Chains A and B, each alone.
Chain A
């Protein structure tokens, strides 16, 4: 589909507002051989209950239906793993369903849970995601992940999903990055930032104090991407509880409004057809007329350089939440930094920067907690959790982790949840001497983007303090 009907561009209108009540996360790591998946899931649930000072029994008594994000059954060699988890959480005989949309599984799980509350089916729901990618060696894991590409047309070629994405990276690198050394360094800055922020996160799998040179000297994966440009392969779980207004205020005095949307595009990048760029509210119709002149080769949209699914998810979510300019209306974002270059592509897809100019978000310093050039707070900090590069990519849990992290900033409790000495000790991790509270002071609204592979599925979840609502558009 390359043209949209009026019906397809409708901004979703839910029957009732939906609130985020609480959320929790387990430890994330490359391997956790001492725990079964159900133990990680229960760790996340217990943290969510404790966060609002409820016992697990009390919190469970509110749950009416459950949404489980778990991408890759074959990693754990267990079909219907959702039923196992549901039973171990003691939530039978409530209805539950498994959700699988590749790397966007966590975000899609929230999307489904959101609709269940918004429709009135349930007053309170559990959205829980997990993945355990440690039960096969890495090359078999790569094969399994590559099975998420087209099994006849792509997977036989190398059985390496990174490769199917890397052709997009190469195109972006040549067209919009113009193969400039300065652009390559900007990519490296993203890895330095996210690995560095992961140092402040006790949950994080890959905290590292590194330099741009470390990234540029790390082993090459697929030019121009190097090992430190790439996301992690992780084990862990995360969850959120969503509720309608009445129930949310029964459970906590500080719930957050939540809006969730989704977009999609072809599984095979090969199948993408040329189309006009759908515009976001902070863009103008003439804005991209000379894109191909400014960036030769960049006139094909979405081509191999843009993620239409991300743009559509942002279009719907911004309309629902009343966001006009994400730079002005949002205070914090968690983006799907599967690779440093895809992070930059996403800045453009969701309107933080125009197409072709994503790098300036990093180069301006506004994506940092503290702008390194001005010493003032970054205008729109990104991935303070460490993201997929520094924190984790336990696929089914990732999009949910992002929402929990954003919410903790808006609740003003990020420091509390990341400083806790007992948690660092429980996770067998050493809190750094220079631990810094990355709380975004005064955060009112935030966004999480959950993204599958080469862009087949993307979700956008907006969180907003109820005292700082915007006017819905459309």
Chain B
């Protein structure tokens, strides 16, 4: 069956409006052993889920505009007052008040550092990154958390200074729109669609 006209979603008046196909049905096949004995069947499934970003939507929207957003606890009565969180947290984990959104693009561009990393040739189904993948966990000055990402240029090492790059051309509106490169990387060396 063709997978053309794959499902799309809009929100109108607070409701999802869907068009196109969200699932495709395929016939199953028998599973047999060497003797021909029936042991089971395959169950093909191809379907599309819908997912709400909710209060995190500004983070993902702004990656496509070359901005890195974080949040900060703005409750002066909270022990975590002024703590900066990235991953972006909608609510402070201590006092549960709604956090204030802040732009940390310039802070990151000054040079974040690699807290730890890993390089792997192995991936799961649906992976879109080239292998080997170089994961980096990035530490920012004055930020209480350590962000996970992937390095697009060079080889990672602990303590290495890195800066963010953004997929501003044909963005996916996912975390994949954010990547990292060593400080001093030339724009010409960035992956297709990414810019500083």
**Residues of B138-185 contacting chain A, CB below 8 A:** 144-150, 158, 174-176
CB distance from A360 to the nearest CB of B (A): 23
**The 7 residue pairs across chains A and B that have the minimum distance between CB atoms:** A142-B124, A159-B124, A143-B124, A171-B116, A166-B118, A143-B125, A222-B120
A228 at interface (Cβ–Cβ under 8 A)? no
B194 at interface (Cβ–Cβ under 8 A)? no
* Cβ contact of B118, chosen from A139, A150, A159, A222, cutoff 8 A: A222
A1 at interface (Cβ–Cβ under 8 A)? yes
Q: Contact: A163 with B158, CB < 8 Å?
A: no
Q: Contact: A270 with B120, CB < 8 Å?
A: no
Give the residues in chain A near B187, CB-CB below 8 Å: none
Q: Contact: B137 with A139, CB < 8 Å?
A: no
Give the residues in chain B near A142, CB-CB below 8 Å: 122-125
Give the residues in chain A near B122, CB-CB below 8 Å: 142, 160, 162-163, 221-222
Q: Contact: B124 with A170, CB < 8 Å?
A: no
B129 at interface (Cβ–Cβ under 8 A)? yes
Q: Contact: A154 with B148, CB < 8 Å?
A: yes
> B6-14, B38-46, B103-111: which one contacts chain A?
B38-46
A174 to B126, CA, bound (A): 31
Evaluate whether A157 and B150 lie within 8 angstroms (CB atoms) in the complex, with A152-B174, A167-B118 already known: yes
A272 to B137, CA, bound (A): 12
What are the interface flags for A133-157 relative to B under an 8 Å C-beta threshold, 1 for contact and 0 otherwise? 0000101111111100011111011
Give the residues in chain A near B147, CB-CB below 8 Å: 270
A426 at interface (Cβ–Cβ under 8 A)? no
A294 at interface (Cβ–Cβ under 8 A)? no
Tell me the nearest residue of chain A to B147, going by C-beta: A270
Q: Contact: A168 with B116, CB < 8 Å?
A: yes
Tell me the nearest residue of chain A to B83, going by C-beta: A273
Give the residues in chain B near A161, CB-CB below 8 Å: 124
Give the residues in chain A near B148, CB-CB below 8 Å: 153-154, 157, 164, 167, 268-270
Give the residues in chain A near B3, CB-CB below 8 Å: none
* Cβ contact of B144, chosen from A3, A33, A274, cutoff 8 A: A274
A271 at interface (Cβ–Cβ under 8 A)? yes
Evaluate whether A157 and B45 lie within 8 angstroms (CB atoms) in the complex, with A220-B121, A221-B122 already known: no
Given A145-B124, A174-B158, 10 more contacts at CB 8 Å? Answer: A157-B133, A157-B135, A158-B123, A159-B123, A162-B120, A167-B116, A167-B118, A223-B119, A271-B145, A273-B83
Give the residues in chain B near A223, CB-CB below 8 Å: 118-119
Q: Contact: B119 with A270, CB < 8 Å?
A: no
Q: Can you name 29 A-B residue pairings with CB atoms under 8 Å?
A: A1-B93, A1-B94, A33-B33, A33-B39, A140-B124, A141-B124, A142-B124, A143-B124, A145-B124, A146-B124, A154-B148, A156-B174, A157-B129, A157-B148, A158-B127, A158-B135, A160-B133, A161-B124, A163-B122, A163-B135, A164-B135, A167-B117, A167-B118, A168-B116, A170-B118, A223-B118, A269-B137, A272-B146, A304-B115
B15 at interface (Cβ–Cβ under 8 A)? no
Give the residues in chain A near B150, CB-CB below 8 Å: 157-158
Q: How many residues of B contact A (CB 8 A)?
A: 47
What are the interface flags for B39-60 relative to A under an 8 Å C-beta threshold, 1 for contact and 0 otherwise? 1100101000001010010001
Q: Contact: A304 with B43, CB < 8 Å?
A: no
A220 to B87, CA, bound (A): 30
B31 at interface (Cβ–Cβ under 8 A)? yes
Tell me the nearest residue of chain A to B31, going by C-beta: A33
A117 at interface (Cβ–Cβ under 8 A)? no
Tell me the nearest residue of chain A to B118, going by C-beta: A166
Give the residues in chain A near B94, CB-CB below 8 Å: 1
B79 at interface (Cβ–Cβ under 8 A)? yes
Q: Contact: B129 with A158, CB < 8 Å?
A: yes
Evaluate whether A159 and B127 lie within 8 angstroms (CB atoms) in the complex, with A151-B51, A304-B116 already known: yes
Tell me the nearest residue of chain B to A144, going by C-beta: B124
Q: Contact: B56 with A152, CB < 8 Å?
A: yes
A160 to B31, CA, bound (A): 28
Q: Contact: B135 with A167, CB < 8 Å?
A: yes
A297 at interface (Cβ–Cβ under 8 A)? yes
Give the residues in chain B near A66, CB-CB below 8 Å: none
Q: Contact: A160 with B123, CB < 8 Å?
A: yes
What are the interface flags for A168-197 relative to B under an 8 Å C-beta threshold, 1 for contact and 0 otherwise? 111100100000000000000000000000
Evaluate whether A271 and B87 lie within 8 angstroms (CB atoms) in the complex, with A170-B117, A304-B115 already known: yes
